[in-house]
Structure 1
Amino acid sequence: MYLNVHSHYSLRYGTMSIEKLVDEAMARGINQMVLTDINNSTGVMEFIRVCRKKGVKPIGGIEFRKENKLLYIGIARSKEGMRQLNEFLTYHNLEKKDLPDEAPELVDAYFIYPYIFKGDLKRGHFLGIRYDQLHTLFGIDLKEIKSKLVALQPVVFSERIEYRLHEYLRSIDLNALLTTVDPADKCRDTDQFLKPGELEEKFSKYSFILDNTRNLMNLCEMDYPEGKVKLNRKTFTGNKQDDKELLTKLAMEGMVYRYGKYNKKALKKVKDELKVIYDLDFCAYFLITWDIIRYSMGQGYYHVGRGSGANSTVAYCLRITDVDPIELDLYFERFLNAQRTSPPDFDIDYSWDQREDVQDYIFKRYGRQHTALLGTMSTFKDRSIIREIGKVMGLPKSEIDGFTDQTKSALNRDNATFKKIMAIYSIMSDMPNQRSIHAGGVLVSEEPITYYTALDLPPKGMATVQWDMYEAEKIGYDKYDILSQRGIGHIKEAVKLIEENQKQRLDIHQVKSFMKDQKLNDQLKSGDTIGCFYIESPAMRQLLTKLKCDNYLTLVAASSIIRPGVAQSGMMKTYIQNYHKPDSVKYLHPVMEEQLKETYGVMVYQEDVIKICIHYGGMDGTDADILRRGMSGKYRSRAEFDRLVEKFHLGAAALGRPEEVTKEVWRQVSSFAGYSFSKAHSASFAVESYQSLYLKTYYPIEFMVAVLNNYGGFYGRSLYVHELRKAGATVQLPCVNHSSSAVSISGTDAYLGFIGVNGLESKYIELIPQERKVNGEFIDLEDFLKRTTIGLEQAVILIRVGALRFTGKSKKALLWDVHTLLSGKSKPNNNAELFIIEAKNYTLPDLLNTSLENAYHELELLDFPLSLSMFDLLITKYRGDVTAKHLTKYLGKVVKMVGQYVCEKTVHTKNNKKMWFGTFLDQDGNFFDTTHFPNNTPSYPFRGAGCYLILGKVVDDFGFPSIEVSKFAKLEIAKNPVMD
């Protein structure tokens, strides 16, 4: 009898999960109901699954609202009806049109209006009346509407605490105090499942209404197939046999391209893989991925293919990936095994400014009815919701700030208000908060996607499903990951700049020759990798130095052991030790030596986890891979995962493995598997790292400009400017007669672009270089003002950053002139003048800027000084007793250094205390690193950008020196003379 049930997918309105909703219904003897979440069908497929499992009849629907006002409730008669409802909502979402006040007439769906509706009721349209409205029927001739009346008992919450939660949700949604939310903007305090028989009792005088309601529900049947069904596009060509033949043809042609005609090992491997792909019916998945790559390569786009799919030789032959599985001895079972139900992951990375075109191609190639971006569902887990709860309670900002300050957690513990907030937060934390877009998932469906979801139109402008990747997998969809990353943008831009600036064309895909280049490998070993994809962070540069990494295979391993799980389990340190002394490695068990000799007894890759589960624990390949996925949080069910853990231990015992050894093997497996990469994934990263390193080594100026123009990487902009100077470039401040929107180069001159100037409007960032290109360089300030029609505030920014220095006048003189020219009401314009009238010139005293003033202008407008260094700004002339270059001479000794802050990293010790790692530059521009232990460090040691005086002991870890800090203080800089 419940036609209007809400789950927590009625965002910031409903309070119950789907599971709880069904359990609450069953507890009251309810055997059928309609899920009608507000303006979405996110939960419908989950609702159908849970109801079927628990023996309740599910009916799908949607509650349609406009500006928080209920318009009507749509109820699907069938799968086809659900599609019609979804498409009705989708149309209005994608076209950005308001929902109409009256519902359409749909063949396979019903609509229920609230009883107050006064329009004409079409076929399949009903009036929903609540039990507290029944008295209004007294004395009315019901002949016209008798067959149209149905019982309406909305369900939003299950108990009084949840009603209070609903009130908080509504207040947060409306950004209003709890006490000021209008009753019309929240549900009634009776909107819940009633006790068994209570609804029938309330409608007993109008039993025909209950009959109408029951008849309507009985006509509904969610005729979706039971069990998991594969919903991805089933064929590429339209015919499975043609798909098989096309994939075979492409793979064989690709094998010749990659390995030559007579490579028997490659031929056998490709044939073996093709058989598994045919048997598992994954031909279409491979061909669609190949088609995406074919399009993007035809556009001249550069891509990196990674993920478990890169373990496949077929994928290598199709040019989906550039990682050679035969050369790296990649483990095919990680990629596909006979019982795997979902295809392998292909993560295809593009430059950030090319990905959307690739996505647009997929939409156009496979049809908008069959293509959508994958959604995500964020929850209230973010602690910022504590601030939201405080606001709706009406607490002052100062009190809320105290509750959100982590350093005051001990003081807050006994505060009654804080306890109340945390109680609400704990209930709310796992609830869905808002829908968004997945980082890169795209779905290509056999049926129209609207059978399974309505579609949203987020700011990205592409249709997006209303559920996330986990629900997609349960429903039966496998995603295509079309991702973007800055590293590819760096490579693409650098190649283009080299062609423009040095007139050289590069084939950046000749990676195998890069791997044999001694100069590159020496630079890799030194850790001089700033700007290079995945190998520029302090931790990675340290690891490269400690490993003395000078080859591709070691870099592949390093790309995986840098992951958190390996480091936290202590296995990264073990790997480094064993790497340097392979003959002294002590293996836990002969099986570990047999399977992990290549990685010195340490599990480095996901494949290693599988190998150990198979060969040490006696599991088959399928169970081993499911167990690995489970440790990454991707298990199908907790019970199944626990069964496989037990199977590992029982299998090891059956094979006679010592119990204590098994415990340690399992500790290593479980601590590592959740964070590890597949070997192919690490290999893909290592290939891209070599490409970046090649560009940095041989074309450092163009490469660093490319890094800056693709918005950097791990570090702040100032460090990349520092690296650009180290590369030999003369870095110039922005100039209206030379600069573009981005950083530009001519020979070794690099002009900073207008994009990096704080406060400069985007209009002028584009207009200034365009005007100069069309009408030539600017002659003087007045010419600049007339041709750009720039306002006073924006002109002042350009003068202060030095962008009009071509005039030969000081900034102060230019500021005088610009105020004289623009301080009147009229603005200069760029209309043609009959006569050019020169402005009067007045003789002024010399108005000079000091270098310190200029540096402060640059700090304000660029976030870093260019004309002076941070060391030049220090009041003290002291620069430390030691420089980074000579640290190894002082091992074990306490030294005093001055360093310019680069970055920091906070970690937690086993005792849950905080410690920090810092990275600094010395006055020579060389890096050094610091460690700040909890006992020697205040609650937070760093005080932002600037220079610090550092006292500490020099220590060495596998040839990498760093400082264990005992005292640490930020140094003062000279005051801004303008502020004195």
Structure 2
Amino acid sequence: MYLNCHTYYSIRYGTFSELELLELAQQNHVTRLVLTDINNTSAGLNFVRKASEYSITPLLGIDFRNGVKPCFLGIAKNNEGYLELNNFLSHHLHETLEIPQRAPAFKNAFIVYPFEQVLLNELENFSEHEFIGVSITDLRRLPFSRLVKLKKKLVVQQPVTFRNKADFNAHRLLRAIDNNVLLSKLPQEEEANEAEKMFPIQNLATAFSEYPFILENTEKLLNQCTIHFDFSKGRKPQNLQNYTGSIKEDEQLIEKLCREGLPYRYKKIDTSIKKRLDKELDLIKKMGFVSYFLINWDIVSEASRRGFYYVGRGSGANSIVAYLLRITDVDPMELDLYFERFINLYRANPPDFDIDFSWRDRPAMTQYIFERFEHVALLGTYVTFKERGIIRELGKVFGLPKQEIDFLSTGRYNPNQLDSMSKLVLKYGKLLKGKPNYLSIHAGGILISEKPLHWFSATHLPPKGFSTTQYDMVIAEDVGLYKFDILGQRGLGKIKEALEIVAYNQPEKHQNIDIHDIQGFKTDDTINNLIKTAQCMGCFYVESPAMRMLLKKLEVDNYLGLVAASSIIRPGVAKSGMMREYILRHRHKGRAKEKAHPVMLDIMPDTYGVMVYQEDVIKVAHHFAGLDLGEADVLRRGMSGKFRSREEFQKVKDKFISNCRKKGYSDTLIYEVWNQVASFAGYAFAKGHSASYAVESYQSLFLRAYFPLEYLVAVLNNGGGFYRSEFYIHDARMMGATIHPPCVNNSNIANRICGSHIYLGMLYLRDLESRVMERIVKERTLNGHFVSLEGFLDRVMISVEQLAILIRIDAFRFTRINKHELLWKAHLMLSKNDRLEHPKLFPPRHQKFQIPKLHTTDLETAFEELELLGFALCSPFELLAEPPKNTHGQRNLHRYLNKHIDIYGYLITVKNTSTHTGKRMHFATMVDQHGEVFDTVLFPSVAAKYHFRGKGIYRFYGKVVEEFGFLSIEVIKIQKQDYISDPRYADMKTSKKLFESRVSRNISSGNQ
């Protein structure tokens, strides 16, 4: 009887989930109801999936509205009707069109116009599929309305939006947030009626007892509707069924491509390779995944044709077929990759391929996929209300001042000391926590479906301009839609641009580079030495302090070691305590036999009996606990965020434990192994995924080893990496580069290199407008270098404020005129509003101005750079108000091992973390006075006393310690050091004197 039910996917309107709606219906003895969210179909699939568990027949529709103003309900008679409704809604969402007051003539959907709207809009002449909805509150007016005569057209439309008063309160808060108004100023017409509740079915029938024909009409309408989606275990994937047009042709094509790929990938094709290939092809065909492989092959082939770099990773790298089709560059035979992790007969879902493109190339590849295939959409995801966001939104709704909202957002308050309004924010915030706030886009998921995607839901059109589903990845998988992951990353952009830079900076060497010669890179001693010594700044996945530390501790100097390190660094391995154990077993070869259980060591000999990869979960569950492969995969998936059936997972866990007991293992051992599995499975990489990462790491390490300056310029031009740009510039200087500030004659918008000279890009000038940069580069490209300030002004439209930025950074240093004189000239030659839009028809005659001789100090220049670039190009140690009391640096740490050291460091990065007891501690990476890097740790007792207060130089006192060959300082106390006062505002003579003495001292001690 309920035709108009809302969930919280009626965004910023509804108040509870689709499962809570089913629960509510069950409590009120409702056996059939229609889910009709407002302009949204996100809950539809899961509503249908779960309805049978509540003994409810689910039906689907849409509540079409303009804002909160109702237009009509669309109720699907069947799946074709749902497709019609989704097509209609999607068209209006894509084109941002208003919903019309009168519905189109749907063939397979009923239309219900709300009673009030029919009267208001004077609607008449209703078609066979159109009805008028009457709610309980409408019954008072019905006898006095002309509509009472339309007996065959009246149906029950009792909206369901709330369960109780708390829901209504949450609704009002959501409406105030959506309208961006104070709660007290929320217009009543923006709220739903508090009576929009579900009543027991008997009560509803009683309410309409005077109008039995309304109940009969409603029952008749509901009985004509049905909806079905297959959520069974044996359901077939809903992805594109074939690539060529027929399954037979698909199978012939994949076999042909594999035959062609064999000689490209393998110099010697032995029996083991052929057996593996036959085994995979046979299983891929049986599972119906051939088209999935061919679609991925199509995508990477197009990328190759366009010269785009890509990396295929994920569990798909476990497949020799993927290797032969060039979807991945990881040889599963070399790494003994576990094919059953990738595909087995117990899995309904196809293999998982993640294909990474450069962040610049990814939009073009996404566009290609949308044009190449028929039924395509991006995968949606929901951003929910989180604690801090709730406080900010409700703070505004309740009218709190900004400073109070900021204070509450920190979470550092005593609840007893808060005023009543702040307490209300926290109280009502609990009502919103976890509810959907808005629909967003999955990081890289694309759906390519056999059926139109509107068969499953409506789509909307986010700013990126690609059709996007109204449901997320988990729901998609439930119904058999499996995503293609097309991801963008900056690492590939760095590699591609580095090769382009080498092509113009060292053209004689560029033609000899094969960036895909991974086998050659793996055996290159220079590259492997960079890994062993952790000289990996700017290199993909291996540059972070934690990874640098791990590489040194493991003494990694080969590809397989890097593959393992890529997964060991993941949170799960560290959390289980097995990272340390792995390092111990790696460094002390006898320890594995001594500590590891024989079965575990036999299962995972390469990793010393330690679970490192996702596959290890399957291996341990299968060989150690005796689960079959299907159950083992349930276990692996159950520990990731993708899994849905907690009941099924619990059964497998129970079987894991009972099987182990039957094998005679002690409970101590069983739970030790289980805890290792449980703590890391959801975070670990598949081995093929780690191997794919290691391939890209080797490519970037090759460039770092042989073309370090070109590579670092590419790193900077692609948004840097783990560290600030300032640090990569410092690293380039340490490797022999001369760094120049932006220059109108030598700089582009991005950074450029000429020999060993790096000219910083104009993009670092934070207040310089992009249109000004573009004009400068375009004019210089067309008509050559600028020779004077006057000539520059004749050729480039620019305001005096923008020109001042360029002069202050010394972008006109080629004129050899002091920047203070140039600033005077600029202000005299340009009025405040001059030269913003229109060029002069003829070059103007420039007046001659008498400007006194002015001077600029190096110290002033340093502070101008700090202001304009965010960092100075001189050593930050030259800016200290008090000179360092010593010259200790990283090079001295060995001498102070197990002793205390007094050392100065410029802060690069801090990792704030917590101990297992929740106490705060810090890991900080610093640059010393000699430009070298050292690491520090502040344990909780020290972290409670001392804090890092932003960028700058800190003086540390602490103990030098060593763990597995890695040196760091356990800090006892720190003190931030003061810089010289800014000479542009302070006593110039004093500051200049300090600066000059500092520079002379550094020169005499041999520091640059």
> Does TM-score exceed 0.5, indicating one fold?
yes
What SS does the aligned partner of 1:233 have?
coil
Aligned to 2:991: none
Would the alpha carbon gap of residues 40 and 677 (structure 1) be closer, same or farther in structure 2, given more than 3 Å must change?
same
Matched, 1:578 2:585: yes
* Cα distance, 1:918–1:826 mapped onto 2, change above 3 Å: closer
Residue type at the aligned position of 2:924 = G
Aligned to 2:862: 855
Matched with 2:883 is 877
1:957 aligns with 2:963: yes
Structure 2 residue 542 is matched with structure 1 residue 538: no
Alignment CA distance shift 1:311-1:828 (3 Å): closer
Quick check: 1:214 aligned with 2:219? yes
Which of 693, 696, 711 does residue 688 from structure 1 map onto?
696
Structure 2 SS opposite 1:924:
coil
SS at match of 1:63: strand
CA distance in 2, matches of 1:917, 1:226: 48
Distance in 1 (CA, whole Å) between partners of 2:766 and 2:277 is 55
1-side partners of 2:257 and 2:809: how far apart? Answer: 56
- Distance change >3 Å, CA 327–CA 261, structure 1 → 2: closer
2-side partners of 1:833 and 1:10: how far apart? 59
Change (3 A) 1:884 1:471: same
Deviation at 1:454, TM superposition (A): 0.6
Q: Which amino acid aligns with 1:429?
A: K
Among 173, 180, 184, which residue is 2:178 paired with?
Answer: 173
Q: Give the alignment partner of residue 792 of structure 2, picking from 784, 787, 791.
A: 784
Aligned to 1:803: 811
Cα 1:943/1:317, change in 2 over 3 Å = same
Does residue 149 (structure 1) correspond to residue 154 (structure 2)? The answer is: yes
Deviations 1:742-773 (A, max 9, x none): 10112122111122210111212222101111
Q: Deviations over 1:34-56 (max 9, x none)?
A: 11111111111111122233222
Output the amino acid matched with 1:640.
E
Counterpart amino acid of 1:60? L
Instruction: For residue 353 of structure 1, report the CA deviation from its aligned partner.
Output: 0.5
My pick for the range that moved more, 638-647 or 93-102, is 93-102
Match status 1:888 vs 2:894:
yes
Deviation at 1:619, TM superposition (A): 1.3
Instruction: Tell me which residue corresponds to 1:970.
Output: 976
**Alignment-derived partner of residue 487 in structure 1:** 491
CA contact (8 A) 1:501 1:745 kept: yes
Gap change, CA 1:461 and 1:198, over 3 Å in 2: same
Q: CA deviation at 1:196?
A: 3.4
Inter-CA distance 916–816: structure 2 relative to 1 (3 Å threshold)? same
8 Å Cα contact 1:282-1:343 kept in structure 2: yes
Aligned to 2:993: none
User: Which SS does the other structure have where 1:60 is aligned?
Assistant: strand
**Distance change in 2, residues 1:38/1:404 (3 Å):** same
Cα distance in structure 2, aligned partners of 1:858 and 1:111: 66
Equivalent position amino acid for 2:251 in 1: K
Question: Does the C-alpha gap of structure 1 residues 26 and 886 become closer, same or farther in structure 2, counting only changes over 3 Å?
Answer: same
Give the corresponding residue for 2:777: 769
Aligned equivalent of 1:760, options 765, 768, 773: 768
Give the corresponding residue for 2:107. Answer: 107
Give me the whole-angstrom Cα distance separating, in 2, the residues matched to 1:114 and 1:564. 54
Give the Cα separation in 2 of the matches to 1:135 and 1:433.
36
User: Which residue in 1 is equivalent to 2:470?
Assistant: 466
How far off is 1:721 after superposition? 0.8
- Scaled by the length of structure 2, the TM-score of the pair is 0.94
Q: Distance in 2 between matches of 1:633 and 1:244?
A: 34
Amino acid at match of 1:968: I
User: Are 2:723 and 1:723 equivalent residues in the alignment?
Assistant: no
Taking a change above 3 Å as real, the CA distance of residues 821 and 67 of structure 1, as seen in their structure-2 partners, is farther
Matched-pair contact (CA < 8 Å) for 1:948–1:970: yes
d(CA) in 2 for partners of 1:950, 1:690 = 35
Check if 1:587 corresponds to 2:595. Answer: yes
Aligned partners of 1:951 and 1:967 also within 8 Å: yes
Tell me, yes or no, if the aligned pair for 1:946 and 1:971 is still in contact at 8 Å.
yes
Structure 1 residue matching 2:201: 3-state secondary structure: coil
Quick one: which of 442, 456, 461 aligns to 2:460?
456
Residue 200 (structure 2) aligns with: 195
Residue type of the partner of 2:430? S
- Structure 1 position 597, deviation (Å): 2.1
The offset of 1:324, in angstroms, is 0.6
What's 1:897 paired with?
Answer: 903
Q: What's the CA shift string for 1:391-436, capped at 9, x where partnerless?
A: 2122233332222223x24566887655543343333222211110
Equivalent residue for 1:127?
A: 132
Secondary structure of the structure 2 residue equivalent to 1:383: helix
| Equivalent residue letter for 1:437 | I
Match of 2:279 among 258, 272, 275: 272
Per-residue CA deviations over 1:322-356 (Å, capped at 9, x if unaligned) read 11110111111111112111111101001000011
Aligned twin of 2:647: 639
Structure 1 letter corresponding to 2:74: G
Is 1:383 paired with 2:388?
yes
Deviation at residue 140 of structure 1 after TM alignment? 4.5
Q: Secondary structure of the equivalent of 1:628?
A: helix
The answer for the alignment partner of 1:74 in structure 2 is 74
AA aligned opposite 2:765: V
Contact 2:799 2:832 in 1 (8 A): no
Q: Return 901-910 or 776-785, whichever deviates more.
A: 776-785
Where do residues 89-104 of structure 1 align in structure 2 (5 Å cutoff)?
89-104=89-104
Residue 853 of structure 1 deviates from its aligned partner by 1.9
* Partner residue, 1:743: 751
Distance in 1 (CA, whole Å) between partners of 2:292 and 2:416 is 54
**CA distance in 2 between partners of 1:120 and 1:857 (Å):** 74
CA distance in 1, matches of 2:363, 2:378: 11
2:998 maps to none
Which of 913, 924, 938 is the aligned partner of 2:930? Answer: 924
TM-score for both structures, normalised by structure 1: 0.97
Structure 2 counterpart of 1:311: 318
Contact kept, 8 Å, 1:725 with 1:731, in 2: the verdict is yes
Conserved? CA contact 1:520–1:693, under 8 Å = yes
CA distance in 2, matches of 1:972, 1:380: 42
Deviation at 1:837, TM superposition (A): 4.4
CA distance in 1, matches of 2:753, 2:338: 45
SS in 1 for 2:372: helix
**Mapped contact 1:937–1:966 kept (Cα < 8 A):** no
Alpha-carbon offset, residue 587 of structure 1: 3.2
| Aligned CA distance change for structure 1 residues 805 and 226 (closer, same or farther; 3 Å) | closer
Cα distance in 2, alignment partners of residues 163 and 141 from structure 1: 32
Q: Secondary structure at the match of 2:445?
A: strand
The question of whether the paired residues in 2 share the 8 Å contact of 1:412 and 1:418 is answered with no
The Cα shift of 1:910 comes to 1.9
State how far apart, in whole Å, the 2-side matches of 1:910 and 1:160 are: 40
Instruction: Determine the C-alpha separation between the residues in 2 that align with 1:254 and 1:976.
Output: 64
> What CA distance in whole angstroms lies between the structure 2 residues aligned with 1:945 and 1:879?
20
Question: In terms of mean alpha carbon deviation, does 669-678 or 799-808 score higher?
Answer: 799-808
1:277 to 1:13, Cα distance in 2 relative to 1, 3 A: same
Which residue number in structure 2 is paired with residue 355 of structure 1? 362
Q: 1:433 aligns with which of 430, 434, 437?
A: 437
**2:47 aligned partner:** 47
Pick one of 297, 301, 317 that aligns with 2:304: 297
* Residue of structure 1 in register with 2:289 after alignment: 282
When residues 744 and 193 of structure 1 are mapped into structure 2, their CA distance, relative to the original with a 3 A threshold, is same
Q: Is residue 340 of structure 1 aligned with residue 344 of structure 2?
A: no
In 2, Cα distance between equivalents of 1:732 and 1:224: 63
* Structure 2 gap segments, 5+ residues each: 987-1008
Equivalent position to 2:940, from 916, 934, 938: 934
Matched, 1:323 2:330: yes
Counterpart residue type for residue 27 of structure 1:
Q
Pair 55,862 (structure 1): closer, same or farther in 2 beyond 3 Å: same
- Tell me: CA distance 1:737–1:161, structure 2 relative to 1, closer, same or farther (3 Å): same
Residue pair 1:372, 1:443 contacting (<8 A) in 2 also: yes
- Listed as ranges, the matches of 1:691-706 within 5 Å are 691-706=699-714
Distance in 1 (CA, whole Å) between partners of 2:773 and 2:229 is 55
Instruction: State the identity %.
Output: 45
